[in-house]
């Protein structure tokens, strides 16, 4: 069985994004970029399934600019076997539906048993690509995975839902999206970083898969979140109650 792992290059989660002065989007100039954290978890889970002898090959794929090669090399250094870059011009943001269409075309070629995605990209917070891919492929989906167990021709996914876990059993091939508590991704060791440089990395374009990536949504405005007001200190409970009453909260 093959496992396909889509990995997105996003602003590193430690960086505080800056909104462009004209409000047209987030400023990506000179900003540290990394693999989307949920995708690292997906790579880790795919590698664990392979190490348990339940998959033969882990293929990482990214839709992004030439620099997304770095993200794919990270996946290869973690242990993925090969990678596919579907290259778009710098600054072009590909919407979830177009990404899902490209992933479907790759899955049609590669026939993976599992496509393991992140539950969401921290850049757009869409939480759409995995679900759209499952619909386009007409395959079962286990989203927000907390635990994944492959057994024969099925995969059992414990899903994180409000107030608990839901267990679903999916017939392979299936789509799984990872939640935060699924695992702790490994760090790539230096020898593996070196080895990753010679692992196969194919470069394609959306046109190779017949997918039109023209945006369907128009961003009207991006703005900074409201600045939090400074708090005040109160001397005692009576003053606290009086302040709360004055604010009309209680």
Counting Cα atoms < 13 Å in the Cβ hemisphere of 219 gives: 13
Instruction: Scan residues 2-31 and list those touching ligand AMP (CB under 6 A).
Output: 6-8
Q: In terms of DSSP H, where are the helices of 2-117?
A: 37-51, 68-78, 96-110
Can residue 99 be called a binding residue for ligand AMP (CB under 6 A)?
A: yes
**Site membership for ligand AMP, residue 142 (CB under 6 A):** no
Residue 117 binds ligand AMP, judged by CB under 6 A: yes
Gap between the Cα atoms of 62 and 204, Å rounded? 10
Question: Radius of gyration over alpha carbons of the chain, in Å?
Answer: 21
Only segment of 27-35, 122-130, 150-158, 209-217 that touches ligand AMP (CB under 6 A) = 122-130
- Cis check: omega of the bond before 59, within 30 degrees of 0: no
70 vs 124 by CB, closer to ligand AMP: 124
Residue 155 corresponds to which tokens in the numbers above? 């995969």
185 sits near ligand AMP (criterion: CB under 6 A): no
If 0-12 CB within 10 Å is exposed, 13-18 middle and 19+ buried, where does residue 48 land? middle
How many residues form the binding site for ligand AMP (CB under 6 A)?
22
Stretch that binds ligand AMP, among 43-51, 124-132, 207-215, 229-237 (CB under 6 A): 124-132
Among 3, 34, 38, 170, binds ligand AMP (CB under 6 A): 38
Residue numbers at the binding site for ligand AMP (CB under 6 A):
6-8, 36, 38-39, 62-64, 94, 96, 99, 117-118, 120-121, 124, 126-130
């Amino acid at each position: 069985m093959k496992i396909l792992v889509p990995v997105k290059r996003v602003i590193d989660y430690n960086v505080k994004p800056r909104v462009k002065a004209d409000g047209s989007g987030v400023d990506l100039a000179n900003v540290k970029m990394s693999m989307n954290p949920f995708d690292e978890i997906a790579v880790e889970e795919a590698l664990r399934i392979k190490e348990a002898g339940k998959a033969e090959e882990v293929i990482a794929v990214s839709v992004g600019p030439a620099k997304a090669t770095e993200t794919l090399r990270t996946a290869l250094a973690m242990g993925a076997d090969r990678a596919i870059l579907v290259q778009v011009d710098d600054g072009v943001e590909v919407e979830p539906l177009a990404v899902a269409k490209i992933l479907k075309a790759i899955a049609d070629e590669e026939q993976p048993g599992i496509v393991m995605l992140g539950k969401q990209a921290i850049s757009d917070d869409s939480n759409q690509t995995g679900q759209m891919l499952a619909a386009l492929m007409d395959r079962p989906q286990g989203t927000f995975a907390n635990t994944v167990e492959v057994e024969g021709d099925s995969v059992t996914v414990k899903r994180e839902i409000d107030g608990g876990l839901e267990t679903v059993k999916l017939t392979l091939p299936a789509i799984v999206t990872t939640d935060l508590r699924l695992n702790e991704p490994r760090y790539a060791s230096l020898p593996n970083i070196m080895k990753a440089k010679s692992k196969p990395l194919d470069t394609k374009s959306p046109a190779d898969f017949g997918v039109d990536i023209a945006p369907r949504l128009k961003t009207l405005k991006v703005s900074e979140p409201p600045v939090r007001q400074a708090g005040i200190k109160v001397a005692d409970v009576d003053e606290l109650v009086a302040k709360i009453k004055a604010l009309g909260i209680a």
